[in-house]
Chain A
Amino acid sequence: MAYTLFSIGDYYQIMANFATTNLGGAHVARFIGQRIIYMIITLFLIATISFVLMKLLPGSPLANADKLTEAQQEVIFEKYGLNDPIPVQYVNYLGGLVQGDLGISFKYDNRPVSDILSDRIGPSAQLGIQALIIGTVAGILLGLVSAIYHNGITDYLSTIIAVLGTSIPSFVFAGLLQFFVAVKWGILPVATWNGFEYSILPTIALAIFPMATCARFMRTEMIEVLNEDYITTARAKGLAGSAIIFKHGIRNALIPLITILGPLAVGLLTGTLVIEQIFSVPGIGEQFVTSVTSNDFPIIMGTTMFFAVVFIVMILIIDILYGLIDPRIRLSGKD
């Protein structure tokens, strides 16, 4: 997968540079401009590398290649431009990409890739957003409770949940959920996509990893924050325990949590590939897996580019969140 190509560090470096200087509106505009240029470069690199990797895939896009004569295959290859030298194919592809044309699927006759993606984006987006919200909120609460009652029974329980959640892969949970909740107890549907109740099990399966990661992280951060001097200062003012935790604790503990939201978002994106397959959710992830097995090049490329854009936008949002929560990194800091 090409997602790991991008360096989050680069972005934070820029952020840090900006944080140390006083910024007016012009600086903010320049910052955003710079970010957009970086985004374009990143997308170009992703397009190039995934194109090369895709060309290295074994097999042919023809489902029944052995039944076709050489001449028939030649005709089909010619039609889709697969006989051109690879550099030519690459330039053609990039040319299309710049004009917003993702190409036409090999498998689904003459359907543009963008149509197929937009058909399938709904279920994926719903799953991803539900899982992200449930995972982070539940994880933060769980971590908070463990930190406040730390070394108590609640803490041990939530630590166990967190360790299980991070160490067991989501497809195992998916299988377990399908077996117990759907097959054995018959509470919720096993698979497919016909309404909200169909989204519950895949959402849970997908949310477990972010939840466990957030819980572990939040616990450590909160315990650390509660030992900070400014918490003693707050106690010395006579504030009640709850006021100290909510007004002084949570916000400071959340700042480092934002750094792991990026990797978590990647986890969700890649997680959807597996989870959608297991639950037969007609989403982009499932489409992606199918198209890789059938060498449907335009769809593989289109989906990769789509994921890349989603991820880049997520990182931008995370940076903005950072500024909102931590005044020390605020862009428009006036002195």
Chain B
Amino acid sequence: MKKDNILEVNDLKVSFKTHSGEVQAVRGVSFDLKKGETLAIVGESGSGKSVTTKALMGLLPQPHGFVKEGSILFDDKDITKLKEKNMQAIRGKEMAMIFQDPMTSLNPTMKVGTQIMEGLLKHQNLGKEEAKIKAIELMNLVQIPNPESRMKQYPHQFSGGMRQRVVIAMALACNPRVLIADEPTTALDVTIQAQILELMKDIQKKVDTSIIFITHDLGVVANVADRVAVMYAGKIVEIGTVDEVFYNPKHPYTWGLLGSMPTLESDEEELFAIPGTPPDLIAPPKGDAFAARNKFALEIDFVEQPPMFKVSDTHYAATWLLHEDAPKVEPPESVKKRIESMDHSEEATR
């Protein structure tokens, strides 16, 4: 493992056994997570972003989901090989997770304080009173007012945004080194989304933890992430710093994503919709999975999967367009315009 990496994922393949065959949800994903950074994983539903993080946590739905190949290195140990018992010692302590829907991710019959304390009692060797004090601290950290009395309440007495704060407090309980946030704002009202994002950024500064942030909202990515990985059909198609991927995207799928993002300025131009649907992951296509929907597809795209081409030291994209023999292709005009306008709005907000 490289020195400043906290997590290294190498050629991870995750499959699900179903009645109609093996669904290859993740088909060879590699990335690393550096200490203290926030890596966003974006992609449409079914691109394998959630499955990847479930595999990191060892929370793949049993008995159907399994890691087929590849490794996840954490502390120089391949955690895909760990026994459930040893994985339990990592979960919640070294790696924690924030879930998508705060309405369903809290136990309705258990007091909120107890739910926050559970992880502390399991991993930190704290007494009940100490755990209580720590839980109140955590609730203060996530800005829940009156933590002493709120602790004794049940989830139904909390609003959606407050519940998500509880979920975040639970995840932060044992100062995890890796925090995985699986679309933490998707299920919330827009105004609450902004509050939760602010909170996450705030916590990022206070707590020294690396974050994997899963989302399909590119606005959120620009807001919170240092680097971004774009996933499509179980693979990472482009990865780089936020600036690189947003202002110098190389993969046609990334172009499509950027072009399909509505902005305030986009009322005149039409939104760019990516034609077609994602491929069937029971029998994925032989070549580039995106080829069939890609108007820039080359012949080789239908025959062979593109490797990761290096754009810069931090920026890679899996498209044959980057091959030296490929014709030079520019992103569509509408996408270029979009990138320019993002540039301006960035400057305006600075």
Binding site for B on A (CB under 8 A): 228-230, 232-241, 243, 247-248, 251-252, 255, 325-328, 333, 335
Contacts and interface: CB of A to CB of B under 8 A. Distances in A.
A320 to B, nearest CB: 16
B91 A252 contact: no
B105 A239 contact: no
Nearest 10 pairs between A and B by C-beta? A238-B92, A238-B91, A237-B92, A229-B104, A237-B119, A327-B154, A230-B107, A229-B105, A236-B97, A238-B88
B93 A335 contact: no
Nearest to A236: B97
B167 interface: yes
B108 A230 contact: yes
B73 interface: no
B182 to A, nearest CB: 10
Contact of A230 (B59, B93, B97, B105): B105
B121 to A, nearest CB: 10
Contacts of A326: 108-109
Interface string B36-54: 0000000000000000000
A229 B99 contact: yes
Interface of B: 57, 59, 84-85, 88-93, 96-97, 99, 101, 104-110, 118-119, 122-123, 153-154, 156-157, 167, 170-171, 173
Contacts of A238: 88-93, 119, 122-123
A239 B109 contact: no
B327 to A, nearest CB: 47
A12 B105 CA distance: 27
A84 B179 CA distance: 84
Contacts of A243: 122
Nearest to A233: B105
Q: Among B101, B107, B171, which residue has the most Cβ atoms of chain A within 10 A?
A: B107
B169 to A, nearest CB: 12
B72 to A, nearest CB: 16
Nearest to A231: B107
13 contacts: A233-B106, A233-B170, A236-B97, A237-B91, A237-B118, A237-B122, A239-B88, A240-B85, A241-B84, A247-B118, A251-B110, A252-B109, A327-B156
Contact of A236 (B89, B91, B106, B154): B91
